[in-house]
Amino acid sequence: MAKKKKEKSFSSFVNNPIDFTLLITILLLLSMGLVMVLSASSPSALSESGNSYAFFLKQLIFAILGIIAMLFISKIDYRFYQKFYKHAWWIALILLALVLIAGKTVNGAKRWIYVTETLSFQPSEVVKILMIIFYAGILVKNRDELGLYTKGFIKNMCLLAPIIGLLLLEPHFSASIVIIGICATMMIMAGCKFWHFLATGAVAGIPAMILLIVKEPYRLQRVITFLDPWKDATGDGWQVIQSLYAIGSGGLFGVGLGESKQKFLYIPEPHNDFIFSILGEELGFIGCAVVLILFAIFIWRGVLIAMKAPDMFGSLIAIGITALVAIQVIINVAVVTSSMPATGMPLPFFSYRRNSIIYFIVWNGNFT
């Protein structure tokens, strides 16, 4: 009897259905991302290591590892995570506290924990998925109170405060924005009233945002640079100006794959957060449109999966992952096109960040 039960459990694991439209979309985005990393990183890689393929090969290895992990995780019943949603909050808190204690300071911020000199990870990336699991669980538990201001809105937002506080101490302003956006989206979809967010944002959120910007000189400088990047064209405005040159010179069809001029050390680390500008230069408006359409398909499939989920927990997990990708795409493209002040935000499946590429692929295994 026990043997039959075990066989049935294994069969359920193997036969768990996969959304092939979403899977193909992810693989297309990842493939285009690898091609763009190869093109955008070659001058920087050659300059730093003497091997123009160095960054591409690392990204390729981590992408393959991510795909293998994604296919495995896609077979795990998402309801398994519901048992541990409370633990997710504590793990997130411990990781963010640990990075402040044992993290390495890079460019004035403690965001990385180095296990060895070559092996490291960024806790804030893990915290994003932990908060999706936690909020999916807590919102299901408190579903009857979500329409109330104090017990629904304030109570759930207070649970987020310690996480955001630790992130701001790193400091990691962009991760804070993403996590707030994810949790707010999940709360609204679960049943919290939208006007609660509007009223509280107007009274407390906007003043707090202004205070955080004014308090840190570099944040204020980014706002000033956004308003007029040409005022300091060879300083703080350099990166965004070069990005605009790249996108503008691409025109409709681009200058051709591998033919970018701005990647030759004009844009600092063009294979990272500003890879979309190299995409615009080499593949033009058409190339950018194709990538954005693929992201739109990803979001559409994510929302569809959320709508068809058999329970509220599954629906919120899907909404959370979809919101995570959508928010990061919007912020990245907005920064690259000078539509908002600069902030460090990778483009999902594209930017060269070993941790990010694995996290994005693996996370999406939860609803492929």
* Burial of 142 (C-beta count, 10 Å sphere; 0-12/13-18/19+): middle
State the pLDDT confidence band at 68, using cuts at 50, 70 and 90. confident
User: By C-alpha distance, which of 324, 316, 303 is closest to 79?
Assistant: 316
Q: Which amino acid is at 347?
A: L
Helix (H) or strand (E) holding 112: strand 109-114
Query: How far is Cα 133 from Cα 315, in angstroms, rounded to an integer?
Result: 11
How do residues 148-198 score in pLDDT, each as one tens digit?
A: 888 889 999 999 999 999 999 988 888 999 999 999 999 999 999 988 888
- For tokens 């890879």, name the residue: 275
Report which secondary-structure segment, H or E, holds 62.
helix 54-73
pLDDT in tens, 71-119: 888 788 888 999 999 999 999 999 999 999 988 877 777 888 887 766 7
Q: Which residues contact 280 (CB under 8 A, 6 or more apart)?
A: 246, 247, 250, 254, 287, 288, 336
Question: Which residues neighbour 212 within 8 Å (Cβ) at sequence distance 6 or greater?
Answer: 168, 173, 219
Give the count of alpha carbons within 13 A of 221, CB side only: 7
Would residue 17 be called left, alpha or beta, if left means φ above 0 and alpha means ψ between -120 and 50 degrees?
Answer: beta
Q: Which residue has the tokens 């009223």?
A: 199
Query: How confident is the model over 312-320, as a mean pLDDT?
Result: 95
Which residues are CB-contacts of 344 (< 8 A; sequence separation ≥ 6)?
A: 174, 273
Interval 18-33: pLDDT, tens: 788 998 999 999 999 9
Distances 230 to 204, 242, 262 between C-alpha atoms, Å:
33, 11, 17
- pLDDT for position 327: 96
And the tokens for 157?
């937002």
Residue 6 has pLDDT above 60, yes or no: no
pLDDT above 90 coverage of the chain, percent: 54
Q: Any idea what DSSP says for residue 216?
A: S
DSSP assignment letter at 255: S
What one-letter code names the amino acid at 76? I
Q: Is the pLDDT of residue 251 over 90?
A: yes
For the chain, the structural domain boundaries read 29-75+227-368, 80-215
pLDDT, averaged across the chain: 87
Task: Report the DSSP beta bridge partners of residue 106.
Answer: 109
**Residues in contact with 63: Cβ distance below 8 Å, sequence separation at least 6, in sequence order:** 30, 33, 34, 357, 361
Full-model pTM: 0.89
Q: 3-class SS at 116?
A: coil
What are φ and ψ of residue 289, in 5° steps? -65, -40
pLDDT band at 364 (very low <50, low <70, confident <90, very high): low
Phi then psi dihedrals of residue 106, to 5 deg:
-130, 125
